[in-house]
Amino acid sequence: MSAFRMLAFGTAFQLLAPVSAQLDGFGPEQLIKYTPNWTGERFPDGRPKVPDELIERLKKARITSEEAAWGPLRIHFGYQHQWEGNWLILNRNQRLIGRAFTCQYMPGRPEVTKVIEDEARAKGLSQHNVRVMDLLQPGDVIVADMAGGRIRDGVFVGDNLAVAIWTRTGNGFIVNGAIRDQEGIEPYGFPVYARGVWPGVFGDLMLTGINVPIRVGEVTVMPGDVVVGDSEGVTFLPPHTVEEIVDTAELYSVIDEWRHKKYIESKGQLKPSDLYGRIGMRDPVLQAECVGYVRAELKRRGLKPPEERRAWTTRSYSGSGCFPLPPAPAGPGR
C-alpha cells in the first residue's frame, strides 16, 4: 500500500494516547471497529489483549512457521498474507512471541514534520522513536515500519534503545528498516528482526502513526496481533485466531515428537510415507500407537485431550497422518 493511501486511511493517523504526538485520525474507536472478530479484553489504546495464558501456552508449544501458524491461518481462517521472511535476525535461536505495538514512519515532509514535532515539544515529549518506546508495556513487541523497509537512514534503534525496549517489554522487536550497533545488542540474547544495518542515525523520516495498521512486506499488521517469530520469519496472528493456533501447535508438537522418535529408532527402515500424510498411516498399528502416545502425553502435560481440538477433529491441516481417519461416508441405501 502506498504511503499516500496509508495516510488517507481514516484521514491520516492519530494520537492513541494523550502524550503521543503524531498525525490524527486513527484512534481506539477505529481500532475496535477494524478488529470486530475480537470480543475479549482490550488495552486502553484499543488494542485486543490476548490473554496472558494463551501467550504463555504459545511460548511453551513448539510452534512452527508453517504447520502450526501460517498453514491453519490460510486453510481455516482464510488469511493469505500473515507471514514475512527475508530478515536479518539477531539471536535467531530465541523465539519472539508477544502482542504487536505498531508505529509508522514516512519520508519527511517539512511542514508536516514541523507540526508533529512542535506538538511533541509543547507537551514536553522526547524525540519521535523514544516517545513511542515510552508507551510500551510488558509483553509488547514493537513493530516499526520505517518508510516501507528503508535501510539507508532508516535506523530505528541502536544498542542503548534496544536494551531499553527489552527491559521495558521483556521482548525483542521488529524493524521493517534498519538497526545499528549489532555487536552491542546481540550479547543480551533477545531476538531482533530487521531488514539490515546502517551506521548512521535516524534520517529524514517523520512519525505518522502509533498503533495503526502498518504494512510489513506482504503483511498488513494490526495493533494487538500476536507476533510469532522463529529462525525462518515472522507470523502475525489475528487475535481471534490465537486460541485455535495454540491448540494446533500443542497437538503438532506432540505428534512430531513421536514421529521423530520413531524415525530415529527405525534406523532408516521406516519410509517417510509410513508416518506422514494427510490420509492416515498405512499401518493401523503405527497409527494406533501414535494416537495412544498423543493422548498420554497431552494428559501428562495437563493439556486438553485431542478430541477437543479442531485440528484433530477436522483433519484440515497438513501432516495429519496421526489423526484418526474419518468414518467412511454412507453408500446408497444406507
60 lies in a domain?
no
Same domain, 136 and 219: yes
**Is residue 277, in this structure, part of any structural domain at all?**
yes
pLDDT at res. 5: 36
Q: Which of these three, 189, 215, 237, is where a domain ends? A: 237
pLDDT value at position 76? Answer: 84
DSSP 8-state symbol, 282 = S
> Helix 242-266 to helix 284-300 angle, to the nearest 10 degrees?
130
For residue 157, pLDDT beyond 50:
yes
Question: Is residue 328 over pLDDT 70?
Answer: no
Cell numbers for 167, please give them. 527491559
Block residue for cell numbers 515472522:
234
Domain boundary among 214, 237, 260: 237
- pLDDT tens across 226-245, in order? 999 999 999 999 999 999 99
Q: Report residue 48: phi and psi, to 5°.
A: -60, 140
Question: Which CATH number belongs to the domain containing residue 223 in this structure?
Answer: 3.50.30.40
Q: At residue 228, what is the residue type?
A: V
- pLDDT of 306: 87
pLDDT at residue 177 tops 90: yes
- Residue 18 to residue 172: CA distance in whole angstroms: 26
Of the residues 237, 257, 280, the one at which a domain ends: 237
My answer on whether 101 and 142 are in the same domain is yes
Average pLDDT over residues 298-303: 93
Q: Give pLDDT, residue 329.
A: 54
Q: Nearest CA to 234 among 90, 102, 58, 95?
A: 95
Our count of domains for the chain comes to 2
Q: Is 8 in the same domain as 126?
A: yes
Q: Is 165 found in the same domain as 20?
A: yes
The dihedrals phi and psi of 216, each to the nearest 5 degrees, come to -125, 100
Asked if the model's pLDDT at residue 215 lies above 90, the reply is yes
- Look up cell 475496535; give the residue: 32
Q: pTM here? A: 0.87
Q: Encode pLDDT of 63-102 as tens digits.
A: 777 666 787 898 889 999 999 999 999 999 999 999 999 9
